[in-house]
Structure 1
């Protein structure tokens, strides 16, 4: 972890997500939802000096006191006693809708707090510069046989990255799980040749103007091949993904005591 504290800018997009979902949401309610969603760690999880709330919760309150959303025209604030309510504006809805796929990707990917925090900062900055961000979602490829993909472009990009990752890690037709070394080709013969799932260790984004070849080459540093079982174990606990090394140790421990 970097230990970097969250900024108001990094909280804007997830805050708008809840303000849009619950019109008239109070600051207290917004704070609780953001804490539950993002699960802050490090300094952000500590109680602020001379306060009863954490540094993270204090930053959520700063969204109000500094009029962060209002100054950008994204939301309206109505003070009610010591609390207050928030309502999203049309401009805020446009900003949220523009970034909704990216937001949902981050919130469903079980990435660690620092990575999500940094991603929100980049998304907000790019969005306000009208630069389009393209996402690569590992889950679309995993579930391709069980549901209709709603975003074909995201699926196609993700499939290309998956194929590039498999090619990178394939040796003589064999590609092994980075955690347990399971090999589908070895287990299932030709039917398993070249098959494996790909895990994103960090969020994968591409700016629209970036060269796709160079982007994929860089992105391959943050994706690894994993078997279906290990992939499910990595993501089994929402917002608490296991690292590859931790899962390896868990498997080794289980084998030792079996």
Structure 2
């Protein structure tokens, strides 16, 4: 069976010790000892850890810290890392060549080009395409159908995921719209939108996950599509100007009525009931 592996981030394209490791926020899992990499920084800011991430795209092997790989591990391997907003980035793909206990070896491969890495993927979205629920552990076995979906995601450079709060029951309409919405409703669009924000406060209630939960919540916010899916015409193009930053509670409330109410209307309801 193919596998998907969750690595730590490496800012040298998984081919060397991380540079400026004391300033790179993407290394938060190493700094906080979430991932046991032996994180240690010298005076030049270079990480001295002897982690697998620093040689993965040079030696092309991986070691499981939680047990041996079974005979099921064969075929393709996909690599993701956890981003600062707790979503996942699909950054690489290779083919398994050998397994030896807790070690697994791959064909030579390079990380995907930066603009081709698939960012902003949630665990629920992975589950929706067949990846088993992910709690502890660094890898999951997946079936060939799920592997083919991941291949398609990499080929297209993005993937269409439904707005989890938005109901849509017209199957034929979904089929007709899905193709042209794939890029417009993609994780990449949401990622670009979040990168454009000056802060991560909810536009409705002003809640800030970072202020409430610290490092865990920093950078987390949901993107609300102001144009409901069912109202979009075939030639409609969704841009970051059509998105609003909202917290999880407000996002659900926006979609509680049909059609969804607007940002200003929900803010007014909060004010009236405070």
TM-score band, normalised by shorter chain: 0.3 to 0.5
TM-score by length of 2: 0.33
Would you tell me which structure has more helix in proportion to its own residues? 1
Return the structure number with greater relative CO, CA threshold 8 A, min gap 6. 1
Would you tell me which structure has more strand in proportion to its own residues? 2
